[in-house]
Structure 1
């Protein structure tokens, strides 16, 4: 037990050094013309060191925010604003998906064309099956990048067994518990698996979660870009590596939203019921449309 506590304290203390060193030596991990920098980026993106940098940043911001509420409200507004902005932008992928499906039906059934050509000069030309399979990407964008937006808007489906009838303070304690015990661990696990899953489809030799930094540096001698471009059908969509990128983006946004949700819940618990939904930017259908709120 004592060893575990010492290990935890040591890693939290080293997080300040690791963050400072990374910020003052960006070329070691951002200069991708150097193959070793790529491998350092791969290693540290899914490393214990990076986890403790994120954890320590959360603890520091929480500590400052408990002393200065206005600072913590600013962090909440910033993270919720980020989730809303990204979600509202990528929600338009749903409209693009519908329009593209209509075009596919017209081109294939009415004009009997095997492909769709866009542009002039050197046009973008792909088989109908490519465009049809690409619809999955729009759907993935909506699921991965609009999830936190939906959470901020309060539109996720709830299975409410005892939450609704309890008092305000109890609700906020449940919310804080949920963000720490469910949201954050889920996001971390998804990130850890998704990070190496993504990079195994971007470079070769394929990195592994069990590889040490020294081993990855040795692999850097033979590393080269090998972006996955294999489709499920001969002329089908061949950008499936983008789904791996979306998985990592999803995990990162969930972790940030878990932080924001914990901070909001703590502030609403500390400041009382009058602070409920303070600074919360939720969509509305406008004046006179209250009866339809929550149905869109």
Structure 2
């Protein structure tokens, strides 16, 4: 029993020391990356590409993000105005991106109409776009490209929809508890569900993306030294195979969107946690404070109120 207790104590100490050491090293890693940009920004060098591949899904990168969160949280707990500024910045970024990307829904509809007219009425097999040297692809290419617009709306408007409170909430106990208890549930949800899920998806999507961009294929289990050795044989092998002979040839963009979506989830988990904390601290009067929520202005017909989107 004593040996088991000593072993458990040793592993606990090792775990705590691992976290503390990596938090301390995070400052050095950020400083080194900023002062040596050529090691990872010079993509004419295959080793720089492999460093980006490795560090993008590494423990070091995780602790840089974790330490950034801790620094913002500590500063924000001391100065709530600063933390509100962070919340407004993150939510403003999500709102701006979502409002811009939402226009791709209109583009998708217009392109589908053009495809129908060109194919059924004008009996054309291809669509040419542009002046001088136009871009010309088969009808099936433009038809399959519609999936990209749909994927952009889903992936890049996800955090925007969350800010606008447009997601469906399965409520079992939430509506029956007090205001501050709701904020505690929100904080726990962002820490226990949103952030771990974002980290897990990021690990899969990051290497899933690079395996469709370069060869030899990188692996999440390979150390940096092995990836640098592979860099000698590195070459670009961007995925350009469509589902049909003349179909859409840029399916690697869907992998890019998956990584972008995960990053947005990660950032908004921070914003959601910080907002929930501030509303918990300041009370019910701070609910939806500074929230830039879209409102559809309805005509005044005598008693009708504004309808929220």
TM-score, normalised by the number of residues in structure 2: 0.93
Give the number of equivalent residue pairs. 295
Q: Determine the structure 2 residue equivalent to 1:293.
A: 307
* Shift of residue 292, structure 1, vs aligned partner: 5.8
Kept in 1, the 8 Å contact 2:295–2:306? The answer is no
Q: Secondary structure at the match of 2:296?
A: coil
Alpha-carbon distance in 2 for matches of 1:7, 1:30:
29
Kept in 1, the 8 Å contact 2:297–2:306? The answer is no
User: Of 116, 135, 141, which aligns to 2:152?
Assistant: 141
Where does 1:107-126 land on structure 2 (aligned, <5 Å)?
107-126=118-137
* Shift of residue 15, structure 1, vs aligned partner: 1.0
Q: Determine the structure 1 residue equivalent to 2:19.
A: 8
Alignment deviations for residues 19-39 of structure 1 (CA, whole Å, 9 cap, x no partner):
111111111111111111111
Q: Determine the structure 2 residue equivalent to 1:232.
A: 243
Gaps of 5+ in 2: 1-11
Q: Secondary structure at the match of 1:33?
A: coil
TM-score, normalised by the number of residues in structure 1: 0.97
Q: Determine the structure 1 residue equivalent to 2:281.
A: 270
Q: Determine the structure 1 residue equivalent to 2:40.
A: 29
* Shift of residue 2, structure 1, vs aligned partner: 1.8
RMSD: 1.2
Q: Determine the structure 1 residue equivalent to 2:4.
A: none
Gaps of 5+ in 1: none
Answer with 1 or 2: which has the greater Rg: 2
Q: Secondary structure at the match of 2:265?
A: helix
Q: Which portions of structure 1, spanning 4 or more consecutive aligned residues, are displaced by more than 6 angstroms?
A: none
Alpha-carbon distance in 2 for matches of 1:288, 1:278:
26
Where does 1:180-195 land on structure 2 (aligned, <5 Å)?
180-195=191-206
Kept in 1, the 8 Å contact 2:80–2:278? The answer is yes
Q: Secondary structure at the match of 1:248?
A: helix
Where does 1:41-190 land on structure 2 (aligned, <5 Å)?
41-190=52-201
* Shift of residue 143, structure 1, vs aligned partner: 0.5
* Shift of residue 191, structure 1, vs aligned partner: 0.8
* Shift of residue 286, structure 1, vs aligned partner: 2.5
Q: Is 1:242 matched with 2:256?
A: no
Alignment deviations for residues 143-178 of structure 1 (CA, whole Å, 9 cap, x no partner):
000000000001111111111121110000000000
Alpha-carbon distance in 2 for matches of 1:12, 1:176:
22
